[in-house]
Structure 1
């Protein structure tokens, strides 16, 4: 009954993205191992795991997708997963609950990130783990890092909104739903508020925040609000990308993105090859 109520509540937010999941044309399914993960949100998450291309791995990276029908396939479609694998990282992709192949449950998407991160750490217990998220995936990754048991040593967060209202204020029905949730269930709304998460981070993970100058959904100003909340609490870097649209910094500046993101991960995860 509870999950049915949440499905109705979530429909104005995510209903247009609920479609059967398909492999992106850019993917090679044979390189990916399917996974099922039980989340604290009540959902069964579907994930994919792929190893680094050559040699011992430096670490493992969980990739948390933005909203969209392609869901976890975003990272294969636009080349991020391949970039990380070529750089020496194992990667795990997964669908947040209600997206792609994952079952739908509550709005506690941060618990999905937590469960997927713990599953990745269990796969590679001797490797450091980081998370890379975009938009909703970035925001929920930050919220997941308020949980003491999260495994993330570092995070790359692109286009993360500071609050749900910052992102959804231009959409009347979702805006009303968030406003009502603040009145009727304030604790639930706070759990999904990155600005609140910034004050309660656990473990001091290093962060790289990325925002595009052409992003109209999470503009640079929104990113600066989040940076100001995080700066001084943990090591936080900010990269403002010219001409980059929402979640597409890699497409706008592929060489600079590779240098910044891989350099950051190498520095934060030790930069030394390990036996995996």
Structure 2
């Protein structure tokens, strides 16, 4: 087992599941049906979690690909994307959109302890349903954090990944009170891998030949310019895109046209790179 694989020892699993339940107290219990434009599903995760998800299909005759969206740490879970109409922008450009609730959010159960498992389980569902289409990842904050750890374990299903407003370390997000002490200890201990709390630069530095873009707001209090520089040193193929006057998760709100232009150009470039060259 390499350093990026999850530990399945009983102590790690027990502690991690307890950690999730304590950390998620304020987001658990909020449930909402997917909008009428979406097709709901339940996928059994790699750890036995029942993951609530939704697929929205483009009406384009020849779909360009599938975008798997991973939600931020908000009680709304996957509904963050529907409420902000982020799926509609991608649908209009010929992409199917698939999103889901991580374990502990909405109707998703907690069958295990690794959020990276959730990303890979949904990706495998997409691969079965659309075996010939490229799969792009789009992760926001918490979702992008665990997306990064998933890539270190298996990047083969994906054509590209975009990280939006993703702190490099959990230590920059938890800055006060008892949680700060707990997170600083956990993220630096043997529990960092099973809880998914290790810094993302360690995971991304092990991902090769996959185009990755990192989007951040220059006024995001969880992401410093020094953090961004350190991340680019760890992952030298990373494409970094900064947005002025944007705080956490504000990039798509304050610069919507440029935001989607950057993402769509990046997807197109990645698809070109992954396309086999004719003999």
TM score, norm. by length of structure 1? 0.86
1:211 is matched with 216
- Would the alpha carbon gap of residues 97 and 56 (structure 1) be closer, same or farther in structure 2, given more than 3 Å must change? same
Q: Which runs of 5+ in 2 are unaligned?
A: 1-9, 274-279
2:24 aligned residue: 14
Aligned counterparts of 2:183 and 2:213: Cα–Cα separation in 1: 31
Partner of 1:224: 229
Q: How does 1:124-273 map to 2 (within 5 A)?
A: 124-148=130-154, 150-173=156-179, 175-180=181-186, 182-183=188-189, 185-188=191-194, 192-201=198-207, 204-231=209-236, 235-270=237-272
Measure the CA separation in 2 of the matches of 1:186 and 1:246: 24
**Structure 1 residues 190, 95: closer, same or farther in 2, change over 3 A?**
closer
Contact 1:211 1:219 in 2 (8 A): no
Matches of 1:254 and 1:102, distance apart in 2: 30
Cα separation, 2, equivalents of 1:39 and 1:124:
18
Moved more, 182-191 or 242-251: 182-191
Describe the shift of the 1:240–1:223 C-alpha distance in structure 2 as closer, same or farther (beyond 3 A).
same
CA contact (8 A) 2:188 2:198 kept: no
Contact 1:178 1:189 in 2 (8 A): no
Q: Deviations over 1:39-89 (max 9, x none)?
A: 223311111011113221111110000000110011111121111111110
Greater CA drift, 10-19 or 72-81? 10-19
Give the number of aligned pairs.
264
Aligned-pair RMSD on alpha carbons? 2.5
CA distance in 2, matches of 1:53, 1:189: 39
Give the unaligned 5+ runs of structure 1.
272-276
